[in-house]
Amino acid sequence: MISRPTTEAGPTTEAGTTAEARTLASELPEHVGRTVVLRGWLHRSRVLKAVTFLVLRDRSGLAQVVVHDACVPELEGLAEESVIEVSGTVTANPKAPGGVEVTSPQVTVVSAPTAAPLFDLFRPTVPASLPTVLDHAAVTLRHPRLRAPHAISAASVAGFRAALDGLGFTEIHTPKVVASATESGANVFTLDWFGRPAYLAQSPQFFKQTMVGVFERVYETGPVFRAEPHDTARHLAQYTSLDAELGFITDHREVMAVLGQVLAGMVAAVRERAGEACALLELELPSVPEEIPEIHFEAAQELLAAHTDEDPRGEPDLAPAHERWLSAWALREYGSEFLFVTGYPTAKRPFYTHPEPGRPQFANSFDLLFRGLELVTGGQRLHRYEDYLAALAARGESPEPYAGYLDAFRHGMPPHGGFALGLERWTARLTGADNVRLATLFPRDLHRLTP
């Protein structure tokens, strides 16, 4: 019934991992009446008097294995998280999860754990604190509920790329180490580059704009780095930025329209590619309206002044509490979980921001709020060389550190714009996680540099 692994000192090829075709747990219903080989982890073992139930976990889900022998002492000692191979007969049983189970099994232990998990991975909830979960990611992420957000994250990125591929975008890969700490000055990590100081890139902004001159429409899905000393549930020092930039636009509204299509593509991909994870977390996926509602920054401030205890008029930005209020308002007014806030004050936006025609104190920019949180920032950029020189001069900055970037604008650039979406924030909001760290495999922040 049970074969133990050989206990030779040296590593060898594994018994039981021959090339026999493997069946995944999710495929069992297609194989009723047949003998199959399953491989995975012993998710749970329940030894009763007359019967032992094993639950095997593989990448596709769970499978119930029933051992009817009255007494199998080896099974009692078989630790959860053992890597096992099960050969047995697929038997229909309406009472079993998924309507099938494996009976008359031969169980082989491929690899036995040397320690028990910090908590039972088979229980529906996670009885550990966030730091414990993160400190032991190698094992805690095996818990189906902790794993699910990452399946949803992967599906989201696939949807992002597929939507943009369909719109004629080209994927790019840009440097993550740069010579000057230009884009926002502070909050930048410094490193030693062959004896010279260098900096981790805070965004691919300059590169993606430059590449509009080459490919017109580009995207990148990669890490960005912010040395932000904030210790909050929504800040990470490394996060995955989903960036897009496109040329030949009229203004920021064309960027917003593309973003709407991208969001719809991401939700569709999550539905198609991560359906199991969504079901496990009992998620209600958002519907992306054909036209995402939009409110101008000024109007948003008026609304907040009229309907809340605060008067934010004159402030250059929205506070998190304001974003939550506006999000709730959009849901009430428009039934939309997404809201564009446009026309942020130019002074608070980066120098490359394109002003609103006729009202240069406001920018052709937008933030996208999703379920109360700022998820995306974007807008139209300047595209004329003279405008860049003027914008830098107005901020008292020299154009010199930007030479490689400004080069693009000396050689003819179309009106263009783009956006950046924080993957972890998206996944956290989508899965109802109260901390972006639950949407990050191995978070990096002010305190956390391992595992």
Q: What residues form the annotated binding site for L-aspartate?
A: 183, 226, 377, 381
Of 32, 99, 184, 248, the one binding a second copy (CB under 8 A) is 248
Strand 416-422, strand 359-363: pairing: unpaired
Residue 112 as a binder of a second copy (CB under 8 A): the answer is yes
Cα–Cα distance for residue pair 163/244, rounded to 1 Å? 11
Q: Binding to a second copy by residue 130, rule CB under 8 A?
A: no
Residues 6 or more apart from 9 whose CB is under 8 A from it?
none
**List 56, 90, 100, 172, residue binding a second copy (CB under 8 A):** 172
* Contact between residue 25 and residue 62 where contact means Cβ atoms under 8 Å apart: yes
User: According to CB under 8 A, which residues from 47 to 66 bind a second copy?
Assistant: 58-60
Judged on CB neighbours under 10 Å (0-12, 13-18, 19+), 2 is middle
- Among candidates 419, 397, 448, 410, which has minimal Cα distance to 184? 397
Pick the piece of the chain touching a second copy (CB under 8 A) from 134-142, 278-286, 314-322, 368-376: 134-142
The residue range among 66-74, 305-313, 323-331, 397-405 that interacts with a second copy, by the rule CB under 8 A, is: 397-405
Shortest distance in whole angstroms from residue 294 CB to a second copy: 17
Q: Are 368 and 338 in contact (CB under 8 A)?
A: yes
State which of residues 11, 33, 124, 314 lies at the interface with a second copy (CB under 8 A). 11
Query: Which positions from 65 through 94 interact with a second copy, judged by CB under 8 A?
Result: 79, 81-83
DSSP state of 148: H
Give the span between the Cα atoms of 384 and 412, in whole angstroms: 8
44 scored as a contact of a second copy (CB under 8 A): no
Q: Of 33 and 398, which has the nearer Cβ to a second copy?
A: 398
**174 to 233, contacts with a second copy by CB under 8 A?**
174-179, 189-194, 196, 198, 200, 207, 210-211, 213-217, 222-223, 225, 227, 229
Stretch that binds a second copy, among 19-27, 280-288, 322-330, 337-345 (CB under 8 A): 19-27
Annotated binding site: 183, 226-228, 234-236, 374, 377, 381, 422-425
Closest-CA residue to 55 (of 84, 31, 34, 77) = 84
User: Cβ of residue 54: shortest distance to a second copy, in angstroms?
Assistant: 14
Separation CA 430–CA 423 (nearest Å): 10
Cβ atoms of 246 and 417 within 8 Å: the answer is yes
User: Interaction with a second copy in 329-388: which residues (CB under 8 A)?
Assistant: 354-355, 357, 360, 382-387
Q: Measured in whole angstroms, how far is the alpha carbon of residue 397 from the centre of its chain?
A: 35
Q: Which is nearer to a second copy, 330 or 423 (CB)?
A: 423
Q: Return d(Cα 359, Cα 54) in angstroms, integer.
A: 68
Q: What is the C-alpha to C-alpha distance for residues 163 and 269, in angstroms, rounded to an integer?
A: 10
Shortest distance (Å) from residue 248 CB to a second copy: 5
Contact 431, 153 (CB under 8 A): no
Q: Is residue 395 a contact residue for a second copy (CB under 8 A)? A: no
Site mask for a second copy (CB under 8 A), range 263-302, x = bound:
----------------------------------------
What six digits make up the tokens of 38? 């399953």
Shortest CB 304 distance to a second copy, Å: 29
> What's the CA gap between 169 and 173, in Å, rounded?
13
Among 98, 117, 293, 399, which residue sits at the site for a second copy (rule: CB under 8 A)?
Answer: 117
Size of the site for a second copy (CB under 8 A): 115
